[in-house]
Amino acid sequence: MAPLSSAFEITHDVLHARFAEAAPALCTEAAHKALADARVNEEEIDAIVISTCTGYLCPGLTSYVSERLGLRANALALDLVGQGCGAAIPNLRASEALLASGRAKHVLSICVEVCSAALYVDDDPGVLISNCLFGDGAGAAVVSKEPPSHQRRMEWLDTETVLSVPDRDYLRFEMRHGFLRNLLARQVPGMAAKFAEEVLTTVLERHQLSREQIAAWLLHPGGRDVLRALQDRLGLQEEDLKWSAAVLHDYGNISSSSLYFVMQRALQGGHPDGWWWLSSFGAGFSCHGALVKVEG
């Protein structure tokens, strides 16, 4: 294992090498766990969808991860980039669309971020907070057409997205001196809460549901202030945020992969069945929500 001090070696070659080494390894580890949990073999995977924003490879991560996993050569491989912390729900939405189209029975959905490969240091408050807040990690799930018989069932029911282009510069990467530099404005917690409520209200009205009928709130743990803003805006109790808060406490903000960790905590932690709400948000400024039904 490399010493912690090596994380502060900031050159173009070092950062790229860090992503090229860590991203495929993290994806593969997460995928193996997801496949084992789903009891699905590698050769049964019809498509793989990987999201990231902290590095670039060509061919993309799907090439390297498919090789390591031994996926079929004709499995559809989709690399999604540039969606930031909010990428989990668009990734899952694309995976669900492949199932709905009849083109796939099992899709491997992965989000991975190597935030240490996008490290930038200066005295800007947003940059300093980013360096303290973000961590490296990958989350994966097997999305299947038929429900599993051996574990709890999470059924994808509906989703909604809002993209606020005028707010783009509040949260995004920029290129400075050839390095990725995160822009993180103090308005972000309030914006995340405002758009999260807008997306939630739209979906609940379509299904004639109230907030009180939501059994679980699985929200992207973007930071302490983000979770507080979501709690206040959505009228939630501290208990409602326990899964998101636990992931933030243990791992920090692991960007797009965070929501997979939150879902795993809730599923394995025995959270009651019913309507569950997923929410992710990030660069763009974009916000996504999904209504799922959990049983079993």
Judgement on whether residues 15 and 98 belong to the same structural domain of the protein:
yes
Of 144, 162, 191, which one is at a domain's C-terminal end? 144
Q: Radius of gyration (Cα) for the chain, nearest Å?
A: 18
Judgement on whether residues 65 and 132 belong to the same structural domain of the protein:
yes
Judgement on whether residues 212 and 257 belong to the same structural domain of the protein:
yes
pLDDT tens digits, one per residue of 217-243: 999 999 999 999 999 999 999 999 999
pLDDT tens digits, one per residue of 195-211: 999 999 999 999 999 99
How is residue 203 written in tokens? 């979906």
Q: Residue 184 pairs with which residues in a beta bridge?
A: 171
The domain in which residue 34 lies consists of: 4-144
Q: How is the chain split among helix, strand and coil, in percent rounded to 5?
A: 50, 25, 25
Nearest to 131 by CA among 82, 169, 191, 180: 180
- Does position 94 have pLDDT exceeding 90, yes or no? yes
Judgement on whether residues 250 and 191 belong to the same structural domain of the protein:
yes
Q: How many helices (H) and strands (E) does the chain have?
A: 8, 10
Domain of 112, CATH number, reads: 3.40.47.10
Judgement on whether residues 168 and 288 belong to the same structural domain of the protein:
yes
Could you give the number of structural domains in the chain?
2
Strand segments, DSSP code E, in the chain are 47-52, 76-81, 106-113, 137-144, 153-163, 171-176, 179-184, 214-219, 274-282, 286-295
Judgement on whether residues 159 and 288 belong to the same structural domain of the protein:
yes
Give ∠ CA 265-134-94 in degrees, rounded to 5.
60
CB 169: neighbour CB atoms within 10 A?
Answer: 10
Judgement on whether residues 199 and 278 belong to the same structural domain of the protein:
yes
pLDDT of residue 1: 61
pLDDT of residue 5: 72
Of 88, 123, 144, which one is at a domain's C-terminal end? 144
- Does position 168 have pLDDT exceeding 90, yes or no? yes
Decide: 131 and 119 in contact? Cβ < 8 Å: yes
Of 87, 117, 144, which one is at a domain's C-terminal end? 144
For the entire predicted model, the pTM comes to: 0.95
Mean pLDDT of 237-252: 97
pLDDT tens digits, one per residue of 158-167: 999 999 999 9
Judgement on whether residues 139 and 164 belong to the same structural domain of the protein:
no
Round to whole Å and give the CA distance between 35 and 83.
25
